[in-house]
Amino acid sequence: MSVTATDQPLLDVRRVTKTFGNLVACDAIDLVIKRGEIHALLGENGAGKSTFVKMLFGSLQPVAGEIFWKGRKVNISSPAVARGLGIGMVFQHFSLFDSLTAAENIALSLDKKIPLQDIAVRARDLGEAYGLPLDPDALVGDLSVGERQRIEIIRCLLQEPDLIILDEPTSVLTPQEADRLFVTLERLRAEGKSILYISHRLDEVKRLCDRATVLRHGKVAGDCDPRKETPASLARMMVGNDIKIARRDVATGGKGEARPLLEIRGLSQPPRGPFSTALHDISLTVYAGEIVGIAGVSGNGQGEFFESVSGEMRQDRADTIRIGGVAAGRAGISRRRGLGAAFVPEERLGHGAVPELPLTDNLLLSRYATDGGAFLRGGPLKILARHRLQSAVGSIVKAMDVRKSGENPDASALSGGNLQKFIIGRELARKPAVLVVNQPTWGVDAGAAAYVRQALIDLARDGSAVLVISQDLDELMEICDRIAVMNQGALSKTLPSAEVTLEKIGLMMGGADKAA
């Protein structure tokens, strides 16, 4: 019996395998995507999702297996070949130039040479048609994260793909922006387009996706109709056991005799460049035993705020920042660490860790100014005790369940989620009095996210003050005692988490609420 064009899968992947040395990243993966469906690809960090979709998009080549596109066996040797077949991809991390316009950024990604004016017209028309309004003449550096994502999606749609791969598309969006994106994706599905949807937000998968394939340790662990599952059952398929829900006690911070451990008073800062955000008179106190959350769409000053609190950007007045009651506004990072503070930046590679250095050296770089002596041995002429460093790394790896391929791999060899667990564990191991963490679980799977969140709760429970900057509203509402919103470099008043709703906080993030 012949297969009609309607019945024939759009994409049929058969036993595709990818290895890196002795590591099998993808092990004989089978996957079928039908025409006109939204198909979820789920799995823990390091499960093989990124490697798999890079093979579909031609960025990596499989060592075994076959890929059939519209019934024909194909060799996707490059992204240009993928785009030529009709496969488009929107990456989690945007690849846009801030100093160029939206239209100019789109032009750079197209395989065909099209006049810039024509691109601008087509991008504007396509945006209006799909509910993704876009000004093609706007400088990317002046746009919000949600607007930048529209550019990525529109330039993908301009290539008229039959299959669109989306990697964590809502990780930087407000709830309202995510809802608009879902409407767009549902319209694309209705038009017969297929979408491969990668997300750690399982409630989105249940709402949006027709089918789901789950990867675990590089293999297909199962497939299902996510609409018939619960977030808990989907998470169980991903990790092989039940996910522990983070548990926190009723807040004690900010009440009674609780001690203020982090105090920020009148923090203002001019923009450092044309695409930086100024900070406007920010004041905030975080008490012992509590977690305070900062919500906001990326690009509203969170990065500049973190740099100011961590000491990467020093203040003119010492009393602008107080750590444990000590004025630290003019102090650098090492001095602030010496006062008992610890910091986890948003960017893992390059900021939180040096990619080319092993885990032991990355640990030493963060400790040498405060407790580097613990890793030295000998008499007057000290030498580095490598075995002590390795032992400390081993303790962090065990405590945070960091999964790695070797005893002391380079930071770049770890998956994003496992590197995040190592960096947070590295700071937690110091038992800081104050912890400031930016995007603690961005791009981290459900199991790892629950692990990290519980670690933050436990730190606060032991008497530390924890300040969490996050775009994940569910995360903030789960672990925080109080929540504030950052919008255009200004910080709202804090609200008890019990009084916060997703709708209210989402409106504040978008600037609709004057309180922000």
Note whether residue 71 is domain-resident.
Answer: yes
* Residue at token pair 């409407």: 183
Asked whether residue 126 falls in the same domain as residue 225, the answer is: yes
114 within some domain: yes
Question: Is 222 part of any domain?
Answer: yes
Residue length of the chain: 516
DSSP 241: S
Q: Read off the pLDDT of residues 439-483 as tens digits, 9 standing for 90 and up.
A: 898 767 777 788 889 999 999 999 999 999 998 888 899 999 999
Chain position carrying tokens 């789109």: 106
Q: Where residue 172 falls among pLDDT bands split at 50, 70, 90?
A: low
Does residue 157 sit within a domain? yes
> In this structure, what token pair is assigned to residue 368?
């040498």
Q: Are residues 150 and 47 in the same domain?
A: yes
CATH number, domain with residue 286 = 3.40.50.300
Mean pLDDT lowest among 171-175, 247-251, 366-370: 247-251
Cross-strand bridge partners of residue 384: 376
Number of domains in the chain: 2
Sequence-distant (≥ 6) Cβ neighbours of residue 350 within 8 angstroms: none
What pLDDT shows up at residue 50?
87
Q: Which residue has tokens 């019934």?
A: 71
Q: Enumerate the H helices of 28-115 as residue ranges.
A: 49-56, 79-85, 102-109
Share of the chain above pLDDT 70, in %: 92
Q: How far is the CA of 370 from the CAs of 322, 365, 434, in angstroms?
A: 18, 10, 15
Identify whether residues 18 and 147 lie together within a single domain: yes
Indicate whether 130 and 274 sit together in one domain.
Answer: no
- Report the phi/psi class of residue 38: left, alpha or beta, with left for phi > 0 and alpha for psi in -120 to 50: beta
- Write the pLDDT tens digit of every residue in 206-257: 999 999 999 998 999 999 999 999 888 888 888 777 666 666 665 444 444 6
- The average pLDDT across 396-400 equals 91
Q: What are phi and psi of 471, to 5 degrees?
A: -95, -5
The answer to whether the CB of 220 falls within 8 A of the CB of 15 is no
Q: Percentage helix, strand, coil, to 5, in the chain?
A: 35, 25, 40
What is the residue range of 157's domain? 11-239
**Hey, which residues does 72 pair with through a beta bridge?**
69
Token pair belonging to 461: 């429970």
**Domain end marker among 208, 239, 270:** 239
Q: Give the tens place of pLDDT for each residue, 410-450.
A: 998 887 778 888 999 999 999 999 999 998 987 677 777 88
Residue 254 covered by a domain:
no
Task: Work out the pLDDT band at 5, boundaries 50, 70, 90.
Answer: low
Please report where in the chains the tokens 């006062």 appear, as a residue: 339
pLDDT in tens, 55-101: 999 999 999 999 999 999 999 999 999 999 999 998 876 788 889 99
pLDDT score recorded for residue 256: 47
What's the pTM?
Answer: 0.73
